[in-house]
Structure 1
Amino acid sequence: MSQAFAIEAAAPRALSGRVVLVVGAHGALGHASALACADAGATVVLLGRKVPKLNRVHDAIVRAGGEALLYPLDLEGATPDDYAEMAERIGDGLGRLDGVLHCAAHFGGLTPLENTDPADFARSIHVNLTARWWLTQACLPLMRSAEDASVVFAIDGAAGQGGAYWGAYGVAQSALAALVGTLHAELANSPVRVAGLAPGPMRTTLRSKAFVEDAEPQARAAAEVAPACVHLLSAAGIDRRGQVWAPFSI
């Protein structure tokens, strides 16, 4: 990480007054980023399908003096109408939405495409790509009312490079990078910024399905990546507008 980024990420209360929706808030990166966003001053809406785990994130934020709300939702089964209702409830309850951070993911493990179960292929494409877009689409009208808003997609850069055995998960990661470019071009004259974050290897349950932890000494804890999420969601993130940012690449 460059020294310049470390200084920017440490800026106090960079999200003060903002409402940020963290999708997949009980996963490794979602959990760490939700805590970091709350610490930076945001009111955090915690979205995920595992309520007990969401409660633990919520309680950790409140104990630290932050503000958080729960929004249980399963991306696999949610419909566009469910996302429209979610956006409406956020607007009615909080009056605004300044950021969406997409951390939810589905990965069943390394498998040759030829041997992939068709249902799991469809599930992976849906959770990792289609559901992310449906949710974003539903939130855009509310986010356009903000002076400065940001949509951030966590992207697994290694999986999206077209390597063998990453299956539908890898296909979705590649498509997410294209989605960032398309949305950036279409929203360039709006207050809504779009960016991707390619954090590199992290020590997560998802990553352990593909790699043995001891074989990846360079893998980072999610808490080390969370400040980059805060940066992209804050006003300072305008410097990465339209980019898929890899802040930890050498």
Structure 2
Amino acid sequence: MSLFELPVAPARPLAGRVILLSGAHGGLGAAAAQACAVAGATLVLLGRRLPRLNRLYDAVAQAGPEPLLYPLDLEGASPDDYAELADRLQAELGRLDGVLHCAAEFRGLTPLEHMDPAAFARAIHVNLTAPWWLVQACLPLLRQSADAAVVLAVDDPVRVGQAYWGGYGLAQHGLRALVGMLDAELTGTAVRVTGLQPGPMRTPLRARAYADDLDGSLRDPQDYAGTCVTLLSPDGHPWRGRIWTADGSHAA
């Protein structure tokens, strides 16, 4: 190699940014965490299982800046718990530039008629109410950033709008509506809201719906990790108020 052929440093589009990642130890969350770390982000890894967060910590710390762990169960967390999270982010990091929400709960296909009322309420809460409480608590801190992004992972509305998807399916439709509604309310601010709809992935959540999954289009969550980075970075601006999809067929 000559002196004029210096190696090019890898791009770090999230360098200097603080990103809160919920559902961090799930399939998509874990893949996105490592990709965001490589891209230079300082991550706050939120999840309900501390042992799995600890394992993810080791991988993320090797890939980029040292992350922070924040154990929290979305099912039991109250608005005060999310407010405390935002206060701690302000006190310990002084900023927040993005929220990537990958957490979801699905316990299997069940006819609505026979669904336990408590299970229905839990599905709506964990998959719709809790994500909104989280984002709502973080908005004042996000507004302080010169360029902030909220990215919500959503499911395919055609698939989860079919029979037996219950509270999870209904919550996913609400989460999609939240993307456009909230972004419209944030027009003129530096905070943008985007949806991310990956294609079918090999994850434990999908396995609960398809015991013998022979879908040839299944992909690994890592295939969508780079898109998470893009949507959280300045390159994500064209998708403001819209939903990125793997095939482009349902982009809003």
Greater Rg over alpha carbons, structure:
2
* Count of residue pairs the alignment pairs up: 240
Question: C-alpha distance in 1, partners of 2:137/2:167?
Answer: 24
Match of 1:67 in 2: 66
- Trace 1:154-193 onto structure 2 (pairs within 5 A): 154-158=153-157, 162-193=161-192
TM-score by length of 1: 0.93
Question: C-alpha distance in 1, partners of 2:119/2:46?
Answer: 22
Q: Do 2:19 and 2:97's aligned partners in 1 also have CA atoms closer than 8 Å?
A: yes
Question: C-alpha distance in 1, partners of 2:142/2:183?
Answer: 14
Question: C-alpha distance in 2, partners of 1:45/1:57?
Answer: 11
Match of 1:127 in 2: 126
SS at 2:192's partner residue? strand
Question: C-alpha distance in 1, partners of 2:199/2:246?
Answer: 9
SS at 1:76's partner residue? coil
SS at 1:67's partner residue? coil
Match of 1:208 in 2: 207
**Structure with higher helix content:** 1
Unaligned runs of 5+ in 1: 1-10
Amino acid at match of 1:112: P
SS at 2:67's partner residue? strand
After TM superposition, the structure 1 stretch with the greater mean CA deviation from structure 2, 133-142 or 63-72, is 63-72
Match of 1:33 in 2: 32
Please report how far the alpha carbon of residue 161 of structure 1 lies from its aligned counterpart in structure 2 after TM superposition: 5.3
Q: Do 1:96 and 1:145's aligned partners in 2 also have CA atoms closer than 8 Å?
A: yes
TM-score by length of 2: 0.92
Question: C-alpha distance in 2, partners of 1:150/1:65?
Answer: 20
Please report how far the alpha carbon of residue 65 of structure 1 lies from its aligned counterpart in structure 2 after TM superposition: 4.0
Match of 2:109 in 1: 110
Q: Do 2:24 and 2:46's aligned partners in 1 also have CA atoms closer than 8 Å?
A: yes
Amino acid at match of 1:199: P
Amino acid at match of 1:186: E
Match of 1:218 in 2: 217
SS at 1:123's partner residue? helix
Q: Do 1:87 and 1:138's aligned partners in 2 also have CA atoms closer than 8 Å?
A: yes
Q: Do 2:106 and 2:168's aligned partners in 1 also have CA atoms closer than 8 Å?
A: yes
1:133-154: CA deviation from partner (whole Å, max 9, x where unpaired): 0000000000000000000110
Q: Do 2:41 and 2:64's aligned partners in 1 also have CA atoms closer than 8 Å?
A: no
Match of 1:54 in 2: 53
Please report how far the alpha carbon of residue 212 of structure 1 lies from its aligned counterpart in structure 2 after TM superposition: 3.8
Amino acid at match of 1:217: G
Match of 2:4 in 1: none
Question: C-alpha distance in 1, partners of 2:216/2:154?
Answer: 20
Please report how far the alpha carbon of residue 12 of structure 1 lies from its aligned counterpart in structure 2 after TM superposition: 1.3
Amino acid at match of 2:116: D
1:125-181: CA deviation from partner (whole Å, max 9, x where unpaired): 001000000000000000000000000110001466521111000000000111111
Match of 2:193 in 1: 194
Q: Do 2:157 and 2:173's aligned partners in 1 also have CA atoms closer than 8 Å?
A: no
After TM superposition, the structure 1 stretch with the greater mean CA deviation from structure 2, 163-172 or 151-160, is 151-160
Aligned Cα RMSD in Å? 1.4
Q: Do 1:13 and 1:40's aligned partners in 2 also have CA atoms closer than 8 Å?
A: yes
Q: Do 1:46 and 1:54's aligned partners in 2 also have CA atoms closer than 8 Å?
A: yes
Structure 2 CA distance for partners of 1:97 and 1:160, relative to 1, 3 Å: farther
Please report how far the alpha carbon of residue 200 of structure 1 lies from its aligned counterpart in structure 2 after TM superposition: 1.8
Amino acid at match of 1:25: A
